[in-house]
Chains A and B, each alone.
Chain A
Amino acid sequence: MTWLFPLLGFLVAALAALSRSSARRYLYAGGIALLVAFFTFPFSSAIGYLSREAVYPTPAGLLPSWAPLGLIALAGLLAVLPLAPRLQGLLGTIGGVVVLLVSYSWLAQPVFLAKIVPLPGLTEAAIAFLAGGLLFLMLRERSLALALVVGLVVAGGSFTLLNGPVGHTYFPRLEGYYKLIRPLPAEESEHLIREYNQGLAKTNALREEIGLKLLKPIESLADLEGGVPKDLAAEGVRLVRPSSLRYGTTAVLFLAGLLLASSLFLMRNPELVEAGDRVSGLTAAAVFLILVPSFYATEFSLGRLVEGWPFFVNFLDRSWPPNLADPAHNIFPLQEVASQMALTVEIALVGTFLAMLFAIPSSFLAARNLTRGSAFTRTVFTLTRAFYNIDRGIDTLILALIFVAAVGLGPFAGVLAMAIHSIADLGKLYSEAIENVERGPIEALEAVGASGTNVVRWAILPQVLPLFVAYTLYRFEINFRVSIVLGFVGAGGIGFFIQNAMASGQYDQMIIGIIAIVIVVNLIDFGSSWLRSKLV
């Protein structure tokens, strides 16, 4: 199935070229991504005794074991050289083919024993360099000297911290994170295995005494597929399995296809270039380089989706027809859904109302145009804004978990959590509305000799009130959906009903809840946007 990846890359570049967008952009993207992947993406696995001892070396890390892998980096480098389009296409074509050949012959290599050589300080330096570089880029516009100083200080400082005892205490996996894989010479491998086999008699005698399974002697390296013996692993020996795919392997295969197709099209038609190809190629490469590890981390797998298919069918089978009521057993699910849905709406209503109650007064303290007066009011402004920013960062669900612990299960915890989180959101919206009021009426009321509070009451409030109502309605829409989920953490309501029905396998009741949610969400959104359109 590995051929799917280069094919996919090929198709992407081919489609782009056929739609007459720049082929050179994808050539650049492929080259840049190959270069970065070469140094950072895991390409194979190398197993030890325990599963956590496994390391996943990059192509660069595997260079001491198999030098031809270096051709991947070379191909990437050649692809990004700014040459005439035809020549660039030619080099890219050769590069694409070479990367494919190298990758596939690596996958065909037999397993071998190798020693890991950690490169201490390298990851730390890379992180520090990135942090400093990012700051430099951000400050460059303002002042080059400042950017340089700040960049260097931050890079130097974070390297010292990360590479010292502090960094290695808090991030124990950081030390020597980047590893080279140095193969053991054949005689050394054999020697190790012979030594192991000789010691086996003694080990097995011991194991027999305490009733453990006896270990078999190692005939060939393939016997180690289940894991390297404990004492070998402790010495830093790993079994490298070139045929085991990591996401770096699939990425490189994809990029080879992309490189090949875009180069072929560019060679055939050198017009397929655009200004700024290098920047757009870099952007495309960055997106690719971020997405690939993310997909891997989320364990994205179409295979598992297919495997899980029967469950969906089973679920649908068991949920239809819905069990609206079963008087014989004294079960009335539709009634239950109606009651719980009402509770969910009520939680959202009370939560939003309480939030509004606190957000209205505080938003005036968080409006820049009303707090310019004195140092005291400016401090109040800063504090209120700081509260908003922190509060906005703490999600309703997290607050709900805390409140459930404090005041117990039930809607009250949900209402509190929702109210507190929504204060910040509403307050921020309200205060922005206040900051955007027309100045004219304020000036006019100051000119008639009205007091400060009367200016707020008569010049500002009439302007912002309709906006306040609109924002509150909008927040209520959101809070209704939050309220559904709150049921799952114990706040009651329709979420609670669904969770119960699901846990007890009563899918024919659960489906009523789901349908009810679809209907009510749409009703509320429709009603609220209709009201809002009447207001503003």
Chain B
Amino acid sequence: MIEAHDLGVTFPNGTEALKGINVKIDDGEFVAVIGLSGAGKSTFLRTLNGLVKPTQGAVRVGGVDVGRLSGRSLQRFRRTVGFIFQQFNLVTRLTALDNVLHGRLGYLPTWRGLLGLYGERDYALARTYLEEVGLADKQHVRVDALSGGQQQRVAIARAMAQEPQLVLADEPMASLDPRLSDVILGLLKDYNEAHGVTVLVNIHVLELARRYARRVLAFNQGRLVFDGPVEELTDELAEQIYAGSLEAL
């Protein structure tokens, strides 16, 4: 379960990225986070795994106050949260399998991690999820030899290999061919349904959010302006959320 209480983030340069967010998300939900660019979607997702610290209020994930974690305990928490980036953030000189195995680093003693001494189970998990994203035959291919869509699938497998309680995806299709959006979102949706893991996806394109998510969170200028089932997101509301920007509709 995710609970945010009066969550606020102000960056050192004074930008108020999030203001007074109150939200509760149950385990196993598939939630779309929408809003204009700069609305605070990424910042919201990043507070959930501690990449950004709240400057006000608090956010709890699975009962843990994320903002208070640091050092070893933060690492232990983070290994249970998969994060999928818009730019994939893979180590492109390594193979697909190596990258998926990185998802297991948080579970290994540091010295074994340094030597790359993963266990049998780590390998088994990595292979399973590579297969699940349809890249079983690419496991020994260097990532820089893969297409953009394949790379993002490797990143998804890396997140799944963490066996997470929560998956956060920050505009995972934004740097891909629009035709691949369904592949990526389909993978996340299937994963959510098969494993019952909570998934939060930032989506810039409203149409896609409508198609995949049952619940939608909408941000505007750092405020949560809509939280509810996708059916309640009327066209007028959407227009307000995307005020002034027609290209997103």
Contact = CB atoms under 8 A, between A and B. Distances in A.
B79 A449 contact: yes
Nearest to B155: A444
B93 A449 contact: no
A458 interface: yes
Given A440-B88, A441-B89, A463-B93, A448 B113 contact: no
Contacts of B82: 448
A177 B77 CA distance: 75
Contacts of A450: 75, 102, 105-106, 113
Contact of B91 (A451, A453, A458, A466): A458
A458 B93 contact: no
Contacts of B105: 445, 448-451, 454, 458
Interface residues on B, range: 20 to 34
Contacts of A462: 91, 93-94
B83 interface: yes
A462 B142 CA distance: 12
B51 interface: yes
The winner among A441, A444, A451, A466 for most chain B CB atoms within 10 A is A444
B158 interface: yes
A453 B106 contact: no
The winner among B51, B76, B93, B102 for most chain A CB atoms within 10 A is B102
Contacts of A443: 51, 85, 89
Contact of B114 (A441, A447, A448, A454): A454
A137 to B, nearest CB: 33
A348 interface: no
Contacts of B110: 451, 453-454
Interface in B123-163: 155, 158, 162
A108 B10 CA distance: 83
B103 A448 contact: yes
Q: Is the interface of A mostly helix, strand, loop or mixed?
A: helix
B202 to A, nearest CB: 15
A446 interface: yes
Contacts of B158: 444, 448
A453 B75 CA distance: 12
Given A454-B110, A462-B94, A447 B78 contact: yes
A457 interface: yes
A441 B78 contact: no
A50 to B, nearest CB: 71
A466 B118 CA distance: 24
Interface in A456-470: 457-459, 462-463, 465-466
Nearest to B103: A448
B90 interface: yes
A164 B241 CA distance: 76
A444 B83 contact: yes
A445 B158 CA distance: 10
Given A443-B85, A447-B83, A453 B78 contact: no
Contacts of A459: 91
Interface of B: 49, 51, 74-83, 85, 87-91, 93-94, 102-103, 105-106, 110, 113-114, 155, 158, 162
16 contacts: A441-B90, A443-B85, A444-B89, A444-B158, A447-B78, A448-B83, A448-B103, A448-B162, A449-B75, A449-B80, A449-B105, A450-B105, A450-B113, A451-B113, A453-B110, A458-B113
